[in-house]
A and B are shown apart, each in its own frame.
Chain A
């Protein structure tokens, strides 16, 4: 079945450091790929998405590129802030509006 694997956390960084969270997937066909974020005490929010190969999703300084050849969708941010401390989930869906399959989540802690 479909699956998503992401690096385990926690990831601890200093402010202004570069952040990368690796995400790889296993799925047949051409899934859509997502990054969701869960800030402390808040619900899941969509951070960015990409629906086809080589698409780049971006939002709030975060970027991720859909790489079909490596079945990856790594999340990057060039300069993190304390406010980026959260749990990040990589996910896929096989069709528009279909259920999401999530990775295990990566907790990121940014220290001042």
Chain B
């Protein structure tokens, strides 16, 4: 079946612009996660959605970062007023309680802020 998909695969933007990154989880997965992979910080957790519960936003690095998950499916990560240090690969993952909560990762969106 279809895996986790993310779009765009690459995004180049200018400092100060806003960007939106999209994640389509595996159908039926109730949990959705965003992570960031950067040279300086490694792989770090950003935000986690589980069903209709309030999201765990504890990993968001600043208030310029926000995320939504509409209808319990697709999620959008928004970065406002991008900075060069936001350059990274943004990874999305989803999981399903029935399959022991294994997280399946998407291919990522490579964000470059000039």
Decide whether A and B assemble into one complex.
Answer: yes
List the interface of chain A (C-beta within 8 A of B).
42-46, 49, 89, 91, 96-105
Cβ contact of A100, chosen from B50, B103, B104, cutoff 8 A? B103
Q: Do B103 and A101 touch (CB < 8 A)?
A: no
For this complex, into which size category does the number of interface residues on chain B fall? 20 to 34
Cβ contact of B95, chosen from A44, A97, A101, A103, cutoff 8 A? A97
Once A97-B50, A99-B48, A99-B56 are accepted as A-B contacts, the answer to whether A45 and B105 lie under 8 Å apart by CB is yes
List the interface of chain B (C-beta within 8 A of A).
31, 33, 35, 42-45, 48, 50, 56, 59, 91, 93, 95, 97, 100-108
A-B contact count (CB 8 A): 44
Q: Do B101 and A97 touch (CB < 8 A)?
A: yes
Cβ contact of B45, chosen from A46, A100, A105, cutoff 8 A? A100
Residue of B nearest to A98 (CB): B48
Main secondary structure, interface of B, reads strand
Q: Do B43 and A89 touch (CB < 8 A)?
A: yes
Cβ contact of B101, chosen from A44, A96, A102, A105, cutoff 8 A? A96
Q: Distance (Å) between the CB of A13 and the closest chain B CB?
A: 23
Complex-state Cα separation, A45 to B4, whole angstroms:
12
Query: With a CB–CB cut-off of 8 A, which chain B residues contact A49?
Result: 102
Counting chain A CB atoms within 10 Å of each CB, the highest count among B33, B43, B95 belongs to: B43
Once A43-B105, A44-B105 are accepted as A-B contacts, the answer to whether A102 and B42 lie under 8 Å apart by CB is yes
Query: With a CB–CB cut-off of 8 A, which chain B residues contact A91?
Result: 43
Q: Do A43 and B107 touch (CB < 8 A)?
A: yes
Query: With a CB–CB cut-off of 8 A, which chain A residues contact B44?
Result: 102
Cβ contact of B42, chosen from A43, A99, A105, cutoff 8 A? A105
Once A43-B91, A44-B91 are accepted as A-B contacts, the answer to whether A99 and B43 lie under 8 Å apart by CB is no
